[in-house]
Chain A
Amino acid sequence: MLHVDNVSFRYPNRPWLFRNLSLTIDKGEIVGMYGKSGIGKSTLAKIIAGYIKPLQGEIRICNNKLTGEKIYPVQLIWQHAELVINPSWQMKKILAESPYLSEEMLSCLGIQSSWLSKYPHELSGGELQRFNIARALGTDAPFYIADEITSMFDAISQAQIWHSLLQEVEQQQKGMLVISHNQKLLEKICHRIVHFSDLAMADRD
């Protein structure tokens, strides 16, 4: 079980973005989250995935506080694949960073073996995003966060990417937080949907 426990955060010299925010995600559970633009969803995602330290509160898995693990147990799948993939590496080198990738997983994600010898600029955005997902899944982390990972694609590509991602996640009983403005999508794929502003506890000022 992933616990986000009373986490508070603000950027320097700005008002609190959120205070005492709590959320739990179970193993095998897919939780959807929506909320207004600019309200702090992506910041929260980065905090849970260990990119930013919260000012108060902590992130725990079961009862262990997360500190400096080799592979962080919460993996963030970024929105813009092209920004987080080294443009001068062949795709297979990019995947080599994830130790637990299997052939099976790649084919499930719809990654064709001919793509492996290509460079990022030779692939479309949708194809790159599949690699981005594969790279995260290949860490075998127990929890994932998907922050608007398909909003820039057409409906068919969106459906394709989600089908393969969900299959992997469900098969291996991973937990996942899905952040999106598309409530219809969340209704379709999530076990439970939360509104961002309902997560923070009472003392909002």
Chain B
Amino acid sequence: MDKSMKTKLISKIILHKLAKFTFVLGGVTVLTFIILSYSPIDPIRAYIGADMLVVSEEQKEAIADYWGINDSKWQQFINWFSAIIQGDFGTSLLYRQDVLTIIKERFTASIWLMGTAWVLSGIVGFTFGLLAGMKEGSWIDWIIKNYCYLIASTPAFWVGILLVMCFSVWLPIFPVGLAAPIGMESENVTILDRIYHLVLPVLTLTIVGVANIALHTREKLIELLKSPYIRFARAQGLSGFRLIGNHAIRNISLPAISLHFASFGHLFGGAILAEQVFSYPGLGTTIVQAGLQSDVPLLLGIVIFSTIFVFLGNVLADILYVIVDPRMRESEAG
């Protein structure tokens, strides 16, 4: 297959995904909107907060009118949706700021956390998987396998709490939380400060993220080592790391990377919990606050944003498959 066909195929996939994405996004927005509209929290109370007692009924009415709360749900949805289409995500009730600005700022903080953890857990998980698969049935395999099963059934926040207990409380090496030293002006915060505060949250996400990729890689490698062409390659005299290097790295790493891209959803979910434990000011803590305090515009904004984020991971995963496997290019062409 030549290059132009490959490009054609990839653009075809992207178009196809884009259509699918429109549906998913539509579904997600409608669903979130419906769920939120049944939330027991009164948005006016949430907006006014402690001043509720001193605000008169007329004022409350005015506020309700201003935010469009008295319109029908349907009308509210239309208003909100048409604004979104025009790129206006509205104003956060909590922060009194443009939703997009908040998302941008919080996501920058989160991306450091998630990105580092994503890369690290990928590398560590893949290595673990290779080791376990190469030595199937040995003690190394046993340890890695059971570690993964254990981790796969452990929630991220619990790992985070354990780490805080070990490395912040008993052995005070790392800070308990936040993204920078308390009370420091943001312009004085150095890169080192940031990294220092990132260590434990990243570690939490990495530890949790390893399991999936390691188990997948192990399975794939064991399956691969039984394949006729590995038997053939070994009969040709290839062995040990040369065998794994020639055959396994290409055959296994790219499905693994694809799987890893497809795990953006897990990553985001884990990040919400980890950020919560470490009070890390990222998208995760923000979405929890927005949810708890009924900040509808912000919550919906983040939901849409995270949908795009997870979907992007899936699209990248699919495209990678096509680039890497010459057979996929032909079957996908249909």
Direct contact between A and B in the complex (CB less than 8 angstroms)?
Answer: yes
| Residues of A in contact with B (beta carbons under 8 Å apart) | 11-14
> Which residue in chain B gives the minimum CB-CB distance to A14?
B330
**Any A CB within 8 A of the CB of B334:** yes
B333 within 8 A of A: yes
Quote the shortest CB–CB distance from A83 to chain B (angstroms).
16
**Interface members, chain B 317-334 (any A CB < 8 Å):** 330, 333-334
Residues of A within 8 A of B333 (CB): 12-13
Q: How far does the alpha carbon of A64 sit from the alpha carbon of B334 in the complex, in Å?
A: 31
Interface bracket on B: under 10
Max chain B C-beta neighbours (<10 A), residue from A12, A13, A14: A13
> Which residues in A have their C-beta under 8 angstroms from that of B334?
11-13
A13 to B12, CA, bound (A): 14
CA distance A11 to B330 in the complex (A): 10
A-B contact pairs, 6 of them (CB 8 A): A11-B334, A12-B333, A12-B334, A13-B333, A13-B334, A14-B330
Q: Which residues of B contact A (CB under 8 A)?
A: 330, 333-334
Complex contacts, A13 vs chain B, CB 8 Å: 330, 333-334
CA distance A14 to B1 in the complex (A): 12
Once bound together, how far apart are the Cα atoms of A12 and B333, in whole Å?
Answer: 7
Closest beta carbon of chain A to B84's beta carbon, Å:
37
A-B complex: 7 closest residue pairs judged by Cβ atoms: A12-B334, A13-B333, A12-B333, A13-B334, A11-B334, A13-B330, A14-B330
CA distance A11 to B333 in the complex (A): 10
Contacts of A11 in B (CB 8 A): 334
Interchain CA distance A13-B329 in the complex, whole Å: 11
Min CB gap A195→B, angstroms: 28
Which single residue of chain A is at the shortest CB-CB distance from B334?
A12
Residues of B within 8 A of A12 (CB): 333-334
CB distance from B262 to the nearest CB of A (A): 25
Q: Closest CB-CB distance, B270 to chain A, in whole Å?
A: 34
- Chain B residues near A14 (CB-CB < 8 A): 330
Cα-based distance from A11 to B327 in the complex (angstroms): 13
Expressed in whole angstroms, the Cα–Cα distance for A36 and B333 within the complex equals 26
Within the complex, what minimum Cβ distance (angstroms) separates A15 from chain B?
12
CA distance A11 to B331 in the complex (A): 9
Question: B13 CB to closest chain A CB, in angstroms?
Answer: 14
Q: Contacts of B330 on A, CB cut-off 8 Å? A: 13-14
Question: In chain A, what residue has the closest Cβ to B5?
Answer: A13
Nearest Cβ on chain A to B227's Cβ, whole angstroms = 16
Q: How far is the CA of A14 from the CA of B333 in the complex (A)?
A: 10
Task: Quote the shortest CB–CB distance from A38 to chain B (angstroms).
Answer: 14
Write the nearest CB–CB distance from A202 to chain B, whole angstroms. Answer: 28
Bound state CA distance, A13 and B328, in angstroms?
A: 13
Nearest Cβ on chain A to B9's Cβ, whole angstroms: 9
A202 CA to B333 CA, complexed, in Å: 29
CA distance A14 to B327 in the complex (A): 13
CB distance from B241 to the nearest CB of A (A): 34
A108 to B334, CA, bound (A): 45
Give the residue name and chain of the A residue nearest to B1 (CB).
Answer: A13
- Considering only CB atoms, which chain A residue lies closest to B333 in the complex? A13
Cβ of A52 to closest chain B Cβ, rounded Å: 12
The CA of A12 and the CA of B330, in the complex, are separated in Å by: 8
In the assembled complex, how far is the CB of residue A152 from the closest CB belonging to chain B, in whole angstroms? 15
| Complex: A42 Cα to B190 Cα, angstroms | 67
Measured in the bound complex, the distance between the Cα atoms of B333 and A171 in whole Å is 47
